[in-house]
Amino acid sequence: MTAHNFHSSVLREYDVRGIVDETLSVEDAAALGRAYGTHIKRAGGSRVAVGYDGRVSSPAMSDALMAGITSTGVDVVCVGMGATPMLYYAVFELDTDGGVMVTGSHNPPNYNGFKMMIGKKPCFGAAIQALGATAAKGDFETGEGTRSEEDIFDRYIDRLARDFEVGSFKIAWDPANGSAGPAVSALVKRLPGEHIVINEEVDGTFPNHHADPTVEENLEQLKDIVRAEGCDFGLAFDGDGDRVGAVDGQGRVVWGDQMLAILGADLLQEVPGAAIIADVKASQVLFDRIDALGGKGVMWKTGHSLIKAKMVEMEAPLAGEMSGHIFFKHKFYGHDDAMYASVRFINAIARQGGDLAALKDDLPAAINTPELRFDCEEERKFVVIDEVKARLEAAGADMSTVDGVRVKTDDGWWLLRASNTQAVLVARCEASSDAGLSRLKQALVGALKASGITPPEGL
């Protein structure tokens, strides 16, 4: 078959993603299908699951992808439109040899992409680059695979609801017109309490707000509903349902690491001493809280695929990221499912007094910057990190180098890391006082200037 070269920007660390008809086309989808099917076949597999999100371009992209896969002799089970975690669930429920989700995740409507599993594990990093190399050589298997349809929606909702245990609340839910909308609407019918679902209709143009619950302005509509209707709390989702955000009954954001602290406290009652993993952007408050409760707080690299791999390595029952990816291996499959995490979050709140605002207030106060992202040339970003690391080591700094550099001082900590998916550097600072935060910012500014980098606004 004809060799195919992908645009240089679309083969990312965790997935394949690009701008439709600019950097990503249906021809790319077909070629990715051929490369993916080839790798599945050569690994001894014969059958994979495919799903797609609610974007306008997703049906055509998924058709091309499936045509590419079946051309290698691998069979495809299409589970239809739904959330990314429904596709992950399908891989386990149908016991397929892998799966591909056509999704642009939380990106704007003109984006799309592919999240993949090979076997029961995420396909990321070198494995994604290997797919690109296979396509570039035109080194494809051939055959006549079949395509079938399988409706797993009801089974998926049953699985989400199975681990609900306790809690009757008034909750507002915002799927943000993403592909999780139907699942959220079906799930709340299985839960006690009162539920208000907004933006549940799937609309790939995302007419009400951007589908990213980590950006506070995207939570304003949910906050308004929570306050106006007297809800106990609200839950929000990204465009494909693998990330969750929350606001308490006062309309305050409960950030990803705070959610993980609440979930972790609940889990440690059932699994004493467990390791709980969070990414390097998470608050020190989280790690300290887990350790104080007898668990083992583990700091790891940012990236949902990297976190999943670390969970398998450590046999950790729970993990999470500031970005709202929350992973349960305890009673579940180890992947990020925002609706499942919501069910467990309801349990956790109920078992710890029933007041999310009080649980948030119970966490030690910390003053921090938002995540600061600023441009840095692709070929320079990792070099900058190495330069900063070398100077800090020479100075005897107390730091973690798990992912970039996270420097701990008496004031708190500051972080500088290179994004795996964009030509940017990422920074964050956290302290227990305004004066401490100012000193941390000064240290970070100094580290950047020493490498010839202009500090971003906010430092």
Q: Which residues contact 162 (CB under 8 A, 6 or more apart)?
A: none
Question: What's the gap between Cα 217 and its chain centre?
Answer: 19
| Active-site residue, selected from the candidate residues 105, 179, 342, 419 | 105
**Token digits of residue 308:** 């999943």
Query: pLDDT at position 237, please?
Result: 98
105 is catalytic: yes
Query: pLDDT at position 282, please?
Result: 96
**Token digits of residue 255:** 């950030």
Query: pLDDT at position 65, please?
Result: 98
DSSP assignment of 117-176: EETTEE--THHHHHHHHHHHHT--------EEE---HHHHHHHHHHT--S---EEEEE-T
Query: pLDDT at position 423, please?
Result: 86
pTM of full prediction above 0.85 = yes
Burial 349-359 (b: 16+ CB within 10 A, else e): bbbbeebbbeb
Query: pLDDT at position 431, please?
Result: 97
Query: pLDDT at position 1, please?
Result: 65
Identify whether the C-beta of residue 389 lies closer than 8 Å to the C-beta of residue 456.
Answer: no
pLDDT in tens, the chain (459 residues): 689 999 999 999 889 999 999 999 999 999 999 999 999 999 999 999 999 999 999 999 999 999 999 999 999 999 999 999 999 999 999 999 999 999 999 888 999 999 999 999 999 999 999 999 999 999 999 999 999 999 999 999 999 999 999 999 999 999 999 999 999 999 999 999 999 999 999 999 999 999 999 999 999 999 999 999 999 999 999 999 999 999 999 999 999 999 999 999 999 999 999 999 999 999 999 999 999 999 999 999 999 889 999 999 999 999 999 999 999 999 999 999 999 999 999 999 999 999 999 999 999 989 999 889 999 998 999 999 999 999 999 999 999 999 999 999 999 999 999 998 788 999 999 999 999 999 999 999 999 999 999 998 878
Give me the domains of the chain, ranges plus CATH numbers: 16-151 (3.40.120.10), 155-362 (3.40.120.10), 367-450 (3.30.310.50)
